[in-house]
Each structure stands twice: as structure tokens, then as C-alpha cells.
Structure 1
Amino acid sequence: MLFEVLTVLLMITTALFIHEMGHAIATISQNKKAKAEIFLGSSSKEKKLKLNLGRITCYLTIALSGFCQPSNREELPPNTFKQKLIFLVGGPIASLFGFAALYFASHFLSGATGTIIINLAGANFFICATSLIPFTYPPFLGDGPSDGLQILNLIKENRKQSKAVS
């Protein structure tokens, strides 16, 4: 039973990592000088595996939540509406691609490996779908706004600014 619990936690953590990599790739692809940090779990850097992937630094642990942020925001020009939107949809898109790739791969694997891969695909789909729902996560899942809520608020703010200019 302990093995199954650990396997589920590792699948959730892997799916979160894929999701947050989507946000990080969206960040660094929009500016040559941009750098991103991924945190799984809390924002603490202590007692975590540090992984450097070019301009992306990851602080990894087994976790049920994660987030991505630019690490050198003060050195960059302010983000436009389009850049903010690309950042916010980057995570769900990465989760969707992760789902598709893992679902496809699961058809070529059998036994326990195939079962783990198809369940990891399902975890990616679940994270994609739930992250797009506009709500605030409970404290044990990070206590922050979902990507969907941030997208909704960004669109509302953009419309409000557009009406003010007109």
C-alpha cells in the first residue's frame, strides 16, 4: 500500500512539474533576458532538489501544489496583456500536451508501466481541466487563484482599461 501511495504522489508531482514547465517556457520565450523559477510545494528553496535547465531554475520536492514566477522581473519591461495571457495559458497547454503524449505512449506499454503512464496521463488532464476553472485553491493546495481565475480577472481588467480609453 505504501508503494501505491508513493506512486500516486509521484504522479501528481510529475503532472504539476509538466504544468509549471508550461508557464516557465511561456515566460522565457517572450523575452531573451527572462528567467523563471518553478517551485513545487512552498516557496522555500531549502531542502529541495535544485535543477537548472538553462534560464529555468526548479526547486523540486514531492508536492500537491506548485507555481512558477519570473526570477528577474525587475530587469524586464512590464508585461503586456498578451504576454500575461500566454503565461497563464502556458501551464494548461503543457498539461494538455502531456496528457496527449502520455495517453499515446500508454498504448505501447503494458502491465504496471502502462497503467502508471495512463494514470499519469489522466493526472495531466485533471490538472489541465481544474486549473482552467476560475476558483481559489484551498490552503493545502497553495491558497492562490487558479489559472482560470487569473485569466478571467486579466480579461476583465483589460476590458475595463479598454472602456476607459474609449
Structure 2
Amino acid sequence: MILEIMLVLLMISTGLFIHELGHAVATVMQNKKATAEIYLGSSSKEKKLKIILGRITCYLTLALYGFCIQPNWREVPLSAVRPRTIFLLGGPLLSLVGAALFYAAAIFSSGVPESIFVNLAGICFFLFASPLLPFTYPRFLGGGRSDGLQLLNLIKENRKQRNAVL
């Protein structure tokens, strides 16, 4: 039973990593100076697996939530509407790609691997759809704003700025 729990946590963490990697890739592809950091779980760097993928640094552990930050945001701001929108949509889009790839892998598998791939596809699809809904996560899942809520706030702020100019 403990092995099954660890496997479920590992699959959730894998789905979260894929989602956050989408945000990180969107960040570094928009600007040659931008860097990104992915955290699974808390923002602590202690007792986590550290992986460096070019300008993306990952701090990984088994977790139920994750987030991506741009540590050099003062040098390379992501405050404009277009870059911020691309950043916010990067996570859900890579989650959707991950869901499709894991589902395809399940089609060509059987037995336990097929079951693992189907579950990973489901997790990735959930991490595509649910973050697009505008809500605040409960405290035990980090307590942050969903990608959808951040997008909605970005759209509202952009409208206010446009109306103020007119």
C-alpha cells in the first residue's frame, strides 16, 4: 500500500512538473536574459533534487502543488499583457501536450505501464483544465491564484488601462 501511495504521489509530481515546465519554457523563450525556477512543494530549496535545464532551475520533491517564478524579473519584466498571457498559458498548454503523449503511450502499452500512462494522461489533462478556472487554491495546495484567475485579473487590468487612456 505504501508503494502505491508513493507511485500516486510520483505521478502527481510528474504532472505538476510538466505543467510548471510549460510556464518556465514560456518565460525563457520570450527573452534571452530571462531565467526561471520551478518549485514542487514549498519554496524551500533544502532537501530537494536540483536539476538545471539551461536557464531553468528545478527544485523537485514529491508534492501536491508547484509553482514557477522568474528570479530576475527586475531585469526582464513579464508585466506586459502579451508576455504575461503567454507565461500563464504555457503551463496548461504543456499539460495538454503531456496528456496527449501519455495517452498515446498507453495505447501502445499493456498491463501496469498502460495503467500508469493512462493515469498520467488523466493527471495532465486535469492540470490543463482546472488551472484555467478562476479560483484561489486552498492553503494546503499553496494558496496561490490559479492561472485562470491571474489571466482574468490581467484582462480586467488591461481594460481599465485602456479605458483610462480613452
TM-score, normalised to structure 2, is 0.98
Match of 1:62 in 2: 62
- Structure 2: distance between partners of 1:99 and 1:78: 27
What residue identity is the alignment partner of 2:123? Answer: A
CA-atom RMSD in angstroms: 0.8
Match of 2:75 in 1: 75
What residue identity is the alignment partner of 1:156? Answer: K
Segments of 5+ residues of structure 2 without an aligned counterpart are: none
**Do residues 128 (structure 1) and 128 (structure 2) align?**
yes
Aligned CA distance change for structure 1 residues 78 and 127 (closer, same or farther; 3 Å): closer
Alignment of 1:43-62 (within 5 A): 43-62=43-62
Match of 1:37 in 2: 37
Residues 57-105 of structure 1, C-alpha deviations (whole Å, 9 max, x = no match): 0000000000001121122245310000000000000100000111111
Match of 2:110 in 1: 110
Contact 2:78 2:84 in 1 (8 A): no
Aligned residue pairs total 166
What residue identity is the alignment partner of 1:76? Answer: V
What residue identity is the alignment partner of 1:29? Answer: M
Match of 1:158 in 2: 158
Match of 1:89 in 2: 89
Contact 2:27 2:70 in 1 (8 A): yes
TM-score, normalised to structure 1, is 0.98
Residue 74 of structure 2: SS of its match in structure 1? helix
Identity of counterpart residues, as a percentage?
Answer: 63
